[in-house]
Amino acid sequence: MKRQHDPNKIYDIVTGQILKALEAGTVPWKQPWSNRINGFTLAQHNAFSKRAYRGINVFILAAEKRSDPRWATYNQITKNGGNVKRGSKGTLVVFWKFLNVKKDKDDDTTGEKVTKRIPLLRYFNVFNVGDTEGLKLDPMQDPTDDDGFDAIAEAEAIAQGYLDNGPSITFDGGGRAYYQKSNDSIHLPGRDQFENPQGYYDTLFHEIGHSTGHSDRLDRLTGERFGSHGYGREELVAEFTSAFLCSEAGIDQHVTGNQAAYIDNWKRTIKADTRAVVIAAGKAQRAADLVLAGGVMAITA
C-alpha cells in the first residue's frame, strides 16, 4: 500500500518531538553536538550517499544522541546486504518535493496557463547504522586523532568571512546583543564580558543570523514587534542559524540561564504554528549557507 504523506501530520510529528524536548527543559538546537571533531566532519549523514542531512533533520537526528552519525533507509540497508536489528525503530526525516503545476494567469485575458512550482513536504524513515548488522562500510576516522584543528579560529574565520561583505559590528558594552536593521549593524557587549569564547560566538552567530534577513540579502525581516508570533519565528531562525554555524565551526553550545528564559516563548511560538520549526530550520539553513559563502548570494539561472 502506498504511504500517504499528509503535510499536517508531518508537521505535527516534528513539532511534537521538539516540544517534548522543550517541556523537559532541553533545547534541541542547543546541545553540544558538532559537525566537526578535531577537524573532520561528523555531520549526521546518509551512510551510502555520504550527503549530510540539512534543515530540521539535523536537530531531529542529533536529538537521538547516537554515537554513529550514519543513517540509511530500510531499502538501502537491505539492498547493500544488511539487516535492521529486531526491535529497532526508524527516525522520521523530512524533505521538500516540488511539483510543477499549471495554473491560469492572475490576469486572465489570454487564457494562457503558467507553470508554478509548488512545494510539498514529504518524509521517510531512516535507521542508524548502529541498529543494523551485515553492512560493509568504510571505517570511520577516530575522532580522538588530533590534527591541530582550532574551533575558535574556525569560528572567527566564518564570522569575518561574512562580516567583510556584511553588516558592521560594534562592541557597545553593557548587557545587550542585537541586530539593528535600519543601519545594518550588529551590537554586542565587549568580548571580555562573555563567560567564554563559545558563548561569544554563539551570540555573534545568532545576531549574524538576524542580519541575513536584511533586504540586501535574503529579504526576510518584516519588523515584527517583540512578543508577536512573527518575532518568535524570526528568533527561531536566528537560533537555528547559530546552531548550524557553531556546529560547522566545532563550537559546543550550552543552554545558559538567559537562553533558558526563552523556552516558554519558543513553546508558545511552536504551539501557535506547527509549521514553525520546519520552516524556520529551512530559512536558517539558507542563512547559514549564505554566511559560509562569505555573504555572497549564489547566482541561479
Cell of 159: 564570522
> pLDDT per residue over 67-102, tens digit each?
889 999 999 999 999 999 999 999 999 998 888 887
In a domain, 228, yes or no: yes
> pLDDT per residue over 263-300, tens digit each?
888 888 899 999 999 999 999 999 999 999 999 876 54
pLDDT band at 104 (very low <50, low <70, confident <90, very high): low
Same domain for 119 and 162? Answer: no
In a domain, 140, yes or no: no
Last residue of a domain, one of 88, 104, 133: 133
> pLDDT per residue over 37-49, tens digit each?
444 456 889 999 9
Q: Output the pLDDT for position 45.
A: 92
Helix, strand, or coil (residue 29) = helix
Last residue of a domain, one of 102, 133, 164: 133
HEC string for 255-273: CCHHHHCCHHHHHHHHHHC
Same domain for 115 and 67? Answer: yes
Q: In terms of Cα–Cα distance, which of 116, 123, 126 is closest to 96?
A: 123
Q: Output the pLDDT for position 301.
A: 37
Q: Output the pLDDT for position 38.
A: 43
Is residue 173 over pLDDT 90? no
Residue bearing the bigger pLDDT, 40 or 301: 40
* Beta carbons of 279 and 240 less than 8 angstroms apart: no
Q: Output the pLDDT for position 224.
A: 72
> pLDDT per residue over 196-215, tens digit each?
899 999 999 999 999 999 99
- Can you say how many angstroms the Cα of residue 201 is from the centroid of all Cα atoms in its chain? 16
> pLDDT per residue over 182-201, tens digit each?
999 999 999 999 988 999 99
Same domain for 178 and 241? Answer: yes
> pLDDT per residue over 222-268, tens digit each?
877 766 667 889 999 999 999 999 988 888 776 655 555 678 888 88
* Beta carbons of 66 and 58 less than 8 angstroms apart: no
Same domain for 85 and 207? Answer: no
Rounded mean pLDDT, 13-36: 80
Q: Look up the domain containing 247 and give its range.
A: 151-292
Is residue 149 over pLDDT 70? no
Q: In terms of Cα–Cα distance, which of 8, 83, 87, 38 is closest to 249?
A: 38
Q: Output the pLDDT for position 300.
A: 45
Same domain for 82 and 170? Answer: no
pLDDT band at 1 (very low <50, low <70, confident <90, very high): very low
Last residue of a domain, one of 71, 100, 133: 133
* Beta carbons of 14 and 92 less than 8 angstroms apart: yes
Same domain for 156 and 284? Answer: yes
Same domain for 105 and 225? Answer: no
- Can you say how many angstroms the Cα of residue 65 is from the centroid of all Cα atoms in its chain? 16
Rounded mean pLDDT, 141-153: 65
Q: pTM of this prediction?
A: 0.85
Q: Output the pLDDT for position 118.
A: 82
Rounded mean pLDDT, 24-39: 66
The Cα–Cα gap between 290 and 301 comes to 17
In a domain, 12, yes or no: no
Domain count, the chain: 2
Residue bearing the bigger pLDDT, 45 or 7: 45
Same domain for 157 and 257? Answer: yes
Q: Output the pLDDT for position 40.
A: 46
